[in-house]
Amino acid sequence: METREVIASGNDLVAMAAVDAGCRFFGGYPITPSSEIMHTISDLLPKVGGVAIQMEDEIGGVAAAVGAAMSGVRALTATSGPGMSLKAENLGLAQMAEVPVVVVDVMRGGPSTGLPTRVSQGDVRQARNPSHGDYRSITLCAGNLEECYTEVVRAFNLADRFMQPVIVLTDETIGHMHGKAVIPTADEVQKGIVPRKTFDGPPEEYLPYGVGPDEPAVLNPMFKGYRYHFTGLHHDAKGFPTEEIETCRKLIQRLEDKVMKHTDELEKNEEFMLDDFNGEEGEILIIAYGSVSLAAKEAIRTLRKEGRKAGLFRPITLWPSPAKRIRHWTDMVKNVLVVELNIRQYTEEVERVSGRLDLEGLYKVNGRAISPYEIVEKVKEVF
């Protein structure tokens, strides 16, 4: 694969990735610490025939992005925690109508307006269920500068494959981190674009929601001669509202199954220094994600130098969670430490899938990053 080296911030890389992945519309509203995404993409999109609009608020931003995506355009909105709260209703509409849109959430301290300029991972639980109802969220989490680019590219392809919103979590640390990143060339990205599926038969035979029980809707771009209906209500094969019992049941079950029966296409993890693990008594498994994983890796190197066998499991796709791999490692290793910039938001998922209630945790919610030193000291304290 051809690559290039760039010097950029995480937020700038998000904007670059979106444009390279074929995004041609951005709708948003400035909010710390994500604002640079809007600033950068508003410069990039006009050069490729795209449009960036600053709306009156976060609600307008996501509504515009969903509307653009309905027309067939790849669309992005970006925000932080308070904006995610405002976007929830329209994200629910996109889940029900099966509209592919990418949402980047650069996490900061919460709840409410919280700590606007400080780091947090407090939106992990929210990203699992940003809106009410039964559906399955797809949430990716970038852990370094390169992934601010590659995970956004992947998000656009997954959104079109599964026909629903895809959330990419970064955080203030990575969003504002500035350094060298080795990323694919734009040509390489464009070779790998997976367009959404379309119907090319007679218009009278077109049933956008009349698909298999684990398949996403097939929504042809607007203005191409195919007519259908968008609604947030339960709907039939043509998209028109209905309360027919079996139609409603099958619709909601399909929203579940189109994701959960294809998790092999979604799962992505990093396993760092776990190759020599074999279930010995003193092994230490650290579970971390996002920017915290960078500190965890440095801590693991330190622990290894001191003669303690430690390794990292990092979920990159947070939701649906990588249950089988989590279970594999937590079954093998006695000593498990989960490190998060929140209070147990992913620890609870690790407990659920592992069945273990003896996991150790290191949590911080004061807007400051977790240092490698803190992780090393926590390991020495509890193991």
pLDDT tens digits, residue range 93-106?
Answer: 999 999 999 999 99
Which residues, 6 or more positions from 161, have their beta carbon under 8 angstroms from its beta carbon?
194, 196, 216, 265
pLDDT digits (tens, 9 = 90+) for 316-346: 999 999 999 999 999 999 999 999 999 999 9
Peptide bond before residue 203 is cis, with ω within 30 degrees of 0: no
Angstrom distances, CA of residue 376 to CA of 9, 200, 344, 357:
28, 58, 19, 22
pLDDT mean across residues, the chain: 97
pTM of the predicted model as reported, rounded to 2 decimal places: 0.98
- Which of 236, 235, 225 is CA-nearest to residue 203? 225
Evaluated on CA atoms 339, 359, 376, 146, the torsion sign reads negative
> What are the residue ranges of helices labelled H in the chain?
10-20, 35-44, 58-70, 81-97, 124-128, 145-162, 172-176, 186-191, 245-260, 292-305, 323-332, 347-354, 372-382
C-alpha closest to that of 104 among 26, 52, 51: 26
pLDDT at 61: 98
Cis peptide before 111 (omega within 30 of 0): yes
Domains in the chain, CATH or no CATH each? 3-191 (3.40.50.970), 270-382 (3.40.50.920)
Please report, for residues 43, 162, 355, 371, the alpha-carbon distance to residue 280 in angstroms, rounded to integers and kept in the order given: 54, 41, 20, 27
- The pLDDT tens digits of the residues spanning 60-78 come to 999 999 999 999 999 999 9
How many residues can be counted in the chain?
383
Our measurement of the distance from residue 48's CA atom to the centroid of its chain's CA atoms, rounded to an integer in Å, reads 25
* 128-153 confidence digits (pLDDT tens): 999 999 999 999 999 999 999 999 99
pLDDT for position 114: 97
Q: What pLDDT sits at residue 1?
A: 87
pLDDT at 187 over 90: yes
In contact, 58 and 104? CB cutoff 8 Å: no
